Amino acid sequence: MLERLQEMMRESGAHLEGHFLLTSGNHSSDYMQCALLLRYPKYAAFAGAALAGRVAKYAPQMVASPALGGLIIGHEVARALDLPFIFCERQDGAMTLRRFPMPEGLRVVVIEDVVTTGVSSGEVGAVLERGGAKWVATGSVIDRSGGRSALPHAPESLWRVDFPLWKPEECPLCAKNIPIVKPGSRGSKPSDGR
């Protein structure tokens, strides 16, 4: 499964290898933008089914995601598990469940495309728990938290990545005079590059 996913990430341009300037100002040899994978419904369905396989053991009764990043993959996981799908969104900065009744008493898995800090998924889980739902697990296509996410439990993920990040002055690729690229600078807005 992992090899196939890695192939899809490269094919879709969601995983680039080279020398990149990230929005944080750090340099890296790898860049990821999961939205580029999920723009292909067949890849989204593949990742959703695989992730559904990972979280099925928690016996969820509902899938919830943070908008916007989690919408497509959350929907695909819900489809694969034949469960309803809901999402939370930010309103005046605060994560809220605006459009759906609270799944009170139900077991809910929170699904995101990429877990970096875990903040968005954590906020969704917290909103649902405050409303009386049971937040039983979190899942993501990519886990780039390096085990340091803010989540109360380790996320289930399809691919745990730990790409090196360097400060510009310590970057070995700069030392080799390899030209640097700012991903997404032509049109698209990267959100995963940190």
Q: Residue numbers of the site for Zn ion (CB under 5 A)?
A: 27, 171, 173-174
Q: How far is the CB of 193 from Zn ion (least distance, A)?
A: 14
Count of CB atoms situated within 10 Å of the CB of 40: 15
Q: How far is the CB of 30 from Zn ion (least distance, A)?
A: 12
Instruction: Using the minimum distance from each CB to Zn ion, give the nearer residue, 7 or 170.
Output: 170
Q: Nearest approach, Cβ of 191 to Zn ion (angstroms)?
A: 21
φ/ψ of residue 76, rounded to 5 = -70, -35
C-alpha distances in angstroms, 193 versus 29, 35, 37, 92? 12, 12, 15, 24
Give the shortest CB-176-to-Zn ion separation in angstroms. 9
118 or 190: CB nearest Zn ion: 190
Nearest to 2 by CA among 36, 50, 34: 50
Distance between CA atoms of 26 and 194, rounded to whole angstroms?
8
Give the closest residue to 51 by CA, choosing from 76, 33, 69.
76
Which of 41/164 has CB closer to Zn ion?
164
Q: Which is nearer to Zn ion, 59 or 181 (CB)?
A: 181
- Shortest Å, Cβ 110 to Zn ion: 35
**Cα distance between residue 138 and residue 176, in whole Å:** 40
CB closer to Zn ion, 106 vs 165: 165
